[in-house]
Amino acid sequence: MAEAQAGVVIVGAGPAGLVLGNLLLDRGVDCVILERRSRAAVEGRARAGFLAAHSVRVLTENGLAAGLLARGRTHTTCRFRSERGEFTLDYAGLGRGEVHTVYPQQELVRDLVAEFLRRGGDLRFGAEAADVTDGRVRVRDGADATGRYATGRYVTGRYVAGCDGHRGVGRAALTAQGVPTARWDHGVSWLAVLAAAPPSMPATGYALHERGFAGHMARTATVTRYYLQCPRGTDPADWSEDRIWTELATRMRTAEFGPLREGAVLEKTVVDLRSDVLESPGTGRLWLAGDAAGLISPSAAKGANLAVLQAESLARAFEAALLRGDESGLARYAADCLPRVWRAHEFSHWMSGLLHGPADAGDIDRDEARYGRALQYARLESLRTSRRHQDFFAENYTGV
């Protein structure tokens, strides 16, 4: 039986793969998306929710923003709390005057899947790529009813886009070819909590505390995300609802600033804050976008935005290569994206230093712990008092 063929085989139906697929269809480039999980699993995964102005622009210009424009919420402020009080930055009036659109990622994914299928796209759920070699993707799980992408079969593309996350086969194939990775472990973890509770403040709140960072991210009128810095290796099962709300109240200093609106905990997971960037996100027939090309710690909510940025750039490059035989866009892909990717990493890294005190006070020499905390407060003070710093912060906080 002949192998399935496509101009671009996209591995992974996360934000990167779905934006890329939609843009390719729109430009008349044929593609197929292989996704190892089921549609329900992909559409039900609650993750990020912060869209930068650039991402909203790309999605709007490409007819992918109806849902987020109708149901997304605009965030224009963020708030910082510490033992030294509280201040709010109204970033809509700072920097470039850009804002965030908050739209739960699973809803964006749902919209992107629906639009891809509406455009006539070929999207195979339950089809796991086992490996990729020279434009050929070997499929492991052929749950797909047509049998076209059955186990052990190959799907061949003129190009393969690895949009399959940081543990995917796309990245593995490139690193096996010797592409180096720059890597950083921020040394801290977050207990990420999704609560069926209305937000307790207008938008985002960051609390610095000697017990560790706590964050509040408004999502919808009825759902709020909270973060609690926790030691590496924490088991989410050790955090009961009671313990979560008590710890949040302490770190968010509710005695001073007013209570949190509590609700049932819908989800709790532990995220280790790590970042990495592949020094070259593609070569020949294999190109990566999103987490596959680099993982960014969640401290500044840049992950999904970098995925959109890279997907847009890659779509343009594939279009030129496949429709006009011009591979110069692919040759420039790394040079186009990496400087912006690194700026996002730099900001995210700074933000991580602002939010987190010494990771595990017990393990750290006390002088170092003191130094770390003093730096944290110097950063916070600079942000509170310097208009220039606020402008710089706003530009980086909302941009990619």
Total interface residues for ligand APR by CB under 6 A: 28
Question: CB–CB of 32/42 below 8 Å?
Answer: no
Q: Where are the alpha helices (DSSP H) in the chain?
A: 15-26, 39-44, 53-61, 66-71, 105-118, 169-176, 241-251, 254-257, 303-324, 328-355, 366-385, 387-398
Tokens of 243: 């313990």
Question: CB–CB of 377/84 below 8 Å?
Answer: yes
**Which residue of 17, 126, 205, 329 would you call a contact of ligand APR, by CB under 6 A?**
17
Tell me 387's DSSP state.
Answer: H
Residue 116: which of 19, 7, 30, 10 has the closest Cα?
A: 19
25 near ligand APR, judged by CB under 6 A: no
| CA separation for the pair 107, 208 (Å, rounded) | 31
357 near ligand APR, judged by CB under 6 A: no
Query: x/- binding map, residues 164-193, to ligand APR, per CB under 6 A?
Result: xx--xx------------------------
Nearest distance, CB of residue 168 and ligand APR, angstroms: 4
Task: Note if 75 is an active site residue.
Answer: yes
The residue range among 162-170, 200-208, 339-347, 392-400 that interacts with ligand APR, by the rule CB under 6 A, is 162-170
Task: Note if 302 is an active site residue.
Answer: yes
Q: Where are the alpha helices (DSSP H) in 122-264?
A: 169-176, 241-251, 254-257
Residue list 103-132, contact with ligand APR (CB under 6 A): 105, 128-129
Nearest distance, CB of residue 145 and ligand APR, angstroms: 17
251 near ligand APR, judged by CB under 6 A: no
Question: CB–CB of 399/393 below 8 Å?
Answer: no
Tell me 284's DSSP state.
Answer: T
| CA separation for the pair 137, 157 (Å, rounded) | 8
Output the CA torsion sign for 40, 136, 167, 300. negative
Task: Note if 149 is an active site residue.
Answer: no
Query: x/- binding map, residues 58-97, to ligand APR, per CB under 6 A?
Result: ----------------------------------------
| CA separation for the pair 22, 279 (Å, rounded) | 27
| CA separation for the pair 388, 385 (Å, rounded) | 9
Taking the least distance from each CB to ligand APR, the nearer of 37 and 81 is 37
Taking the least distance from each CB to ligand APR, the nearer of 72 and 358 is 72
Query: x/- binding map, residues 296-335, to ligand APR, per CB under 6 A?
Result: -------xx--x----------------------------
The residue range among 14-22, 178-186, 195-203, 216-224 that interacts with ligand APR, by the rule CB under 6 A, is 14-22
Tell me 176's DSSP state.
Answer: H
Task: Check 15, 75, 186, 216 and give the catalytic one.
Answer: 75
Nearest distance, CB of residue 129 and ligand APR, angstroms: 4
163 near ligand APR, judged by CB under 6 A: yes
Tell me 161's DSSP state.
Answer: E
**Which residue of 25, 29, 31, 48 would you call a contact of ligand APR, by CB under 6 A?**
48
Taking CA atoms, 381 is separated from 16, 248, 320, in Å, by 37, 23, 48
Task: Check 91, 103, 159, 206 and give the catalytic one.
Answer: 206
Collapsed DSSP state (helix, strand, coil) of residue 138: strand
The residue range among 41-49, 68-76, 233-241, 271-279 that interacts with ligand APR, by the rule CB under 6 A, is 41-49
Nearest distance, CB of residue 114 and ligand APR, angstroms: 16
13 near ligand APR, judged by CB under 6 A: yes
Taking the least distance from each CB to ligand APR, the nearer of 143 and 361 is 143
| CA separation for the pair 328, 75 (Å, rounded) | 38
**Interface residues toward ligand APR, by CB under 6 A:** 11-17, 34-37, 42, 47-48, 105, 128-129, 163-165, 168-169, 290-292, 303-304, 307
Q: Name the residues annotated as catalytic.
A: 75, 206, 298, 302, 397
